[in-house]
Structure 1
Amino acid sequence: MSTSASNLVELRDLKVAFDGVQVLHGIDLDIAPGEAVGLVGESGCGKSVTWLAALGLLPGKATVTGSVKLEGREIRGAQRSQLEQVRGGRIAMIFQDPSSSLNPVLRIGRQIVEALAIHRGLAGEAAKAEALRLMDMVGIPDPRRRFDLYAHEFSGGQCQRLMIAMALAGEPDLLIADEPTTALDATIQAQILDLLIRLRNETGMALVFISHDLGAVSQVCERVCVMYAGRIVEEGTVEQLFSDPQHPYTRGLFDAIPSIDGPRRRLIPIPGTVPNPSDLPQGCSFSPRCPQATAICKTALPPLLSRGRGRKLACVQPAQPVKTGMVRDRMPEAVML
């Protein structure tokens, strides 16, 4: 896969191992300026590890190889001072549990002001005014009164909004949202998704949305990468994947989605679990759970190959095409594009 000057971020053959156990097996991924890309898959598939590795945030026992380029400049293995300019200033990340990400002993206003000082050099009244603007932008009511409150005095949804405000403090070109709605109830989830969409439209930033919620991905993203056992197994536009998922794993994810309206049907769960990275099966990692695996699937690891029109697939036995709209008809109407 060639590099392109038009890409904001390029990952090439990104691999991660912990104590000699490979957990990420050569990720190639491009993010264009202003683009929204979803990473989906079950827990343990490598979605979060991919971006923690890209930003140099993994613990010392992790071994990371490959290339991570920001606007054509290599940042993997860069000096700490250079990475500190990238983190928050160019690429910001928010996590699924805001209560563990916010400092419980510092007032919220001070935490946002600190981010503004680091990334934009603001101080004093200018920093406070900008912090209040950011709090208002993300929908915190009465920000002036709440500026001096602590994290425990906010609800879970408001804490997530505050994390987004802190991420926006550095005016990043790319925001990585790591399952930002998982710990929230359905109503607050919808509000956070709407907020991310609005902020992306207003700021022009790119977005990587990590989630196991296909409905949320369909609302927020334009392109989707499906990950399984540390590899990307299918990639395409939202319309392509949601109208005709071709990898059996992708099809299995859709088959496990309940239908809100329409005829009742029995859910079809994917049998088994994601394999332990230290004991991956030979051949395709999904073959022990795949309903259409053949002998070749158990011996040969399929590469991720282009299928045209931006679509990629790593499978020697693609799922049969579905009737137009069959998969998308299962998605909740409230989160349809």
Structure 2
Amino acid sequence: MKITEWLRERFPIDYEKFIEINEKIFIKEPIPNHMKKWFYCAGATPLILFLLQVVTGALLTFYFVPSPEMAYESVRHITQDVRLGFWVRGLHRWGANLMIIALLLHMTRVFFTRAYRRPRELNWMVGVLLFLTTLTFSFTGYSLTYNQLSYWATTVGTNMIGSVPLIGHTALMFLRGGEEVTANTLTRFFTIHIWFLPPIMLILITIHIIILRLHGVSEPEGFEKGYYSFYPHHFYKIVIITLFLLSFMSTLTIILPPGLGEPANPAITPQHIKPEWYFFPVYRFLKLVPLNVGIMTVAMFLLGMLFWPFIDPLLGKSEETRRRLAFAVGGLTLLVTVALTVWETVVL
């Protein structure tokens, strides 16, 4: 008996129907013509990077030990002793950075094409939650290296969280496992990073894709109307993007390999403490205003970003007025974000 016949006898399903459904959902999925432009394919890039993060992160957990005594040494062991360890760690590090950049580009494109409008409001909100979850991933992951910069960046970051009105102290105690950054903090960050956040991310991605499939991709103005099949054109485009990302991250890992820094020392405060670049705008802004005012302003901004699809219709009666005001808000946000990032980058 052939293996295919053996399997069909054990799994008596209608294979022709299965193939037909598979072709309808994947192979012949209609893709709008504007998706032939590479810029409009940015939505798949964060998903590809997330899958690469899952693979490289799983490999790193085989060697990483989440304890103050062994965390730094295990990272050193991965980087210097384990075969291809520096490469896997480099892919994970640069993948995290590129995922944030890809999400920012995708959200910028969605905002300026106003693809968040009815009936896609919920998908924009899920996208914002995905972005915030990615930032949380990066914050908790960066802290696990347990060198001087990551230790004190964790201290400063959790202090800022502790300044949030009403829930700040509770959140700080939950994250740190006490008043200070200790072994409990490292264990909790590791648990959040590999157990709490991945399921949340997967649920949000699933919801995002389901809503996308139900409503279809929003088609911007100025493009020829029409569709083409997912396979082979779009499929090969995703394959090319995946290979490019792997090559680009590998190149970055070789040219700019992941460093180690000095082991964490709670008794010595570094002269200059800075978070990772994606937190520069918030970090610089909080230096310019009183802390409580800054925290409240950032919270209001995030709420505004989350509920923007419902704010947009209130900007004016005419579509042209709403479009111009939305562009003004988006442009000003980009300008301020870039300015604060550059400012924090060049200032010691």
| Structure with greater Cα Rg | 2
TM over 0.5: same fold? no
Q: Report the TM range for the smaller structure's normalisation.
A: under 0.3
Q: More strand by proportion, 1 or 2? A: 1
> What TM-score results when the alignment is normalised by the length of structure 2?
0.23
Ranked by relative contact order (alpha carbons within 8 Å, sequence separation 6 or more), the top structure is 2
> What TM-score results when the alignment is normalised by the length of structure 1?
0.24
